[in-house]
A and B are shown apart, each in its own frame.
Chain A
Amino acid sequence: NAGVTQTPKFQVLKTGQSMTLQCAQDMNHNSMYWYRQDPGMGLRLIYYSASEGTTDKGEVPNGYNVSRLNKREFSLRLESAAPSQTSVYFCASSQSGTTYEQYFGPGTRLTVT
């Protein structure tokens, strides 16, 4: 039981490049989330998906797109990376309908130069 996995762990991009961050969970959770964490800013929600086939914007969606490929997988795409997107990205999942506590992946540290 791996919980929530993310790939890659580290990535360096040049401004304007694109990339996709991958996330998968094996806990049969309905809800999945993408956050970014910057120093002193806490966790800010980028997008979330309450169930397979649905996605909703969070607090900071600009510059990102997501895909809920199936119940297990939720990917985050940066179409044209900007230095302001340098951050640590966390994926999380939760089982909706009861307690809603979230379980986090190990994170992706992204640097855009």
Chain B
Amino acid sequence: QKEVEQNSGPLSVPEGAIASLNCTYSDRGSQSFFWYRQYSGKSPELIMFIYSNGDKEDGRFTAQLNKASQYVSLLIRDSQPSDSATYLCAVNSETSYDKVIFGPGTSLSVIP
């Protein structure tokens, strides 16, 4: 069974701090890695995707990928209360690239 694991949290950070969210995956052949944000009672929303080893930055968000360690992370700089949500890590399947496996999510709370 291919798995994607995340710390369930909750992770609490003060406003303005850096929030660091981590994810590990078991399928060595995975090629695409995604971070989704889900507010309570809402549907998941894609915020970042990454395919290559290294860092990808988009505004206050940075995704980091290390395929050798099977590890992907999301950094949120200058965290805002509006960033309080559950963050879902997702990884595509090696055998079927359009099939994505989601982690259980990490709940983030940004304290004003």
Contacts and interface: CB of A to CB of B under 8 A. Distances in A.
Interface residues of B, number: 22
Nearest to B103: A42
Contacts, number: 56
Interface stretch (A11-19, A43-51, A61-69): A43-51
Interface stretch (B12-20, B39-47, B53-61): B39-47
A102 B99 CA distance: 10
Interface in A43-99: 43-45, 48, 50, 56, 58, 90, 94, 96, 99
A42 B43 contact: no
B22 to A, nearest CB: 15
Nearest 8 CB-CB pairings of A with B = A42-B104, A104-B43, A43-B102, A96-B98, A31-B98, A42-B102, A101-B46, A104-B44
Contact of A40 (B34, B97, B104): B104
A30 B96 CA distance: 14
